[in-house]
Structure 1
């Protein structure tokens, strides 16, 4: 499990494209992999991946084609920056919200508005996933746990403080970027249950 509190950015060191499988090697900041083990889980752009090999500052991940199909990992190239989060441990403070690291779909940045104190980013969402995005609800975008601002048709926005921009890849994001989305699982369960009862969800 993860919390959506991104711990920093890492760089893609190499990508080996095998048949039906990619091996992605990521270069992490100093000490970011302290006490890592084979089989450990690390979220890369919000995608839960398993450590196959590691050195002091690098970790290799074997990524299946289904994961590549659903996420933006298939768009990565050498030198790209990615968000990372080590798996939460029992007793850790949950500063965001509980995430599985199982990305549901990808969304596209449709607009970015920056001010002196924050940044508003708007996303375009595939229509079938909009019902799970509610005003003041939670989403994870590229692994960042964020509160939904306004929702309109197939778009929603989030408000990012300077700290989030500094520690994540959103500080250099541009319109048109493809972003991983994990909707809040509790929201998904409630919406699906309400729909089975034949009721309508008000997205706010």
Structure 2
């Protein structure tokens, strides 16, 4: 489990490509490596990956076919940075919201509103996932626990859109500071929101069949 509170970023220093398979070698700072062992879970841009080897600051992670298909990790290059969060331990403070590290899709960054002390980012999701978006609801964006500021319903041209507001601390600590319109981010829908929406849909469908 993860909390969506990104602990820092790390640079990808090597990539090994294979058929429908990829290995990332990441230079993790000492503070993020403390107590890290092979087999541990570490979230990269919100994707739960397993440590396969540790050689000093060089930490290796394997990316399977489904990870490459669903997330933005397959588009990364050597020199890119990723958001890093170590798996939560029992007793840790939950500063964000409970996250599984199972990214469900990506969303495109479509607009950025700048202000003196914050930045508003607008994203567009697929129509299928729009039903999970609610004003002031939780969402995971590149592994960051964020609150949805506003939701705009789809129209004939655009899919559902939502915005998040970023404070200077989030911009300083995460890769969202570098995102530009056209970039894609990993999305994890809040599990509780998803469960509630899907339960209500099933109940309404059953009632409709009974009438």
Q: TM-score, normalised by structure 1?
A: 0.95
Relative to structure 1, the CA distance from residue 106 to residue 72 in structure 2 (aligned partners, 3 Å threshold; closer, same or farther) is same
Runs of 4+ in structure 1 displaced over 2 angstroms? none
Q: Distance in 2 between matches of 1:180 and 1:41?
A: 17
2:65 corresponds to 1:59: no
Uncovered stretches (5+) of structure 2, i.e. residues with no partner: 154-159, 206-211
Note the C-alpha offset of 1:28.
Answer: 1.4
* Counterpart-to-counterpart distance in 2, 1:198 and 1:152: 24
- Work out the CA distance in 2 between the residues paired with 1:167 and 1:51: 22
Instruction: Kindly provide the CA deviation profile for residues 35-70 of structure 1, in whole angstroms up to 9, marking residues without a partner as x.
Output: 101100000000000000012322101110111100
Task: Note the C-alpha offset of 1:30.
Answer: 2.9
Q: Who is 2:45 aligned against?
A: 45
Q: Distance in 2 between matches of 1:75 and 1:51?
A: 20
Please name the residue that 1:21 is paired with. Answer: 21
- Matching residue of 1:162: 168
Number of matched pairs: 199
2:141 matches 1:141: yes
Q: Secondary structure at the match of 2:182?
A: coil
Larger radius of gyration: 2
- Taking the aligned partners of 1:31 and 1:121, their CA distance within structure 2 comes to 30
* Aligned residue in 2 for 1:71: 71
- Alignment partners' CA distance in 1, 2:56 and 2:111: 38
- Verify: 1:125 aligned to 2:125, yes or no: yes
What residue is the counterpart of 2:208 in the other structure? none
Compare 15-24 and 94-103 and name the one that shifted more.
Answer: 15-24
How many Å separate the matches in 1 of 2:38 and 2:146?
Answer: 30
Aligned-partner SS, 2:31: coil
* Partner Cα separation in structure 2 for residue 43 and residue 32 of structure 1: 12
Structure 1 residue runs of 5 or longer lacking an equivalent are 200-204
Q: Is the 8 A contact 1:110 1:176 kept in 2?
A: yes
Secondary structure at the counterpart of residue 165 of structure 1: helix
Name whichever structure is richer in helix by fraction: 2
- Secondary structure of the corresponding residue to residue 11 of structure 1: strand
- Please give the root-mean-square deviation of Cα atoms over the aligned residues, in Å: 0.9
2:180 to 171, 174, 180: 174
Equivalents in 1 of 2:56, 2:41: separation in Å? 16
Residue in structure 1 matched with residue 157 of structure 2 by the alignment? none
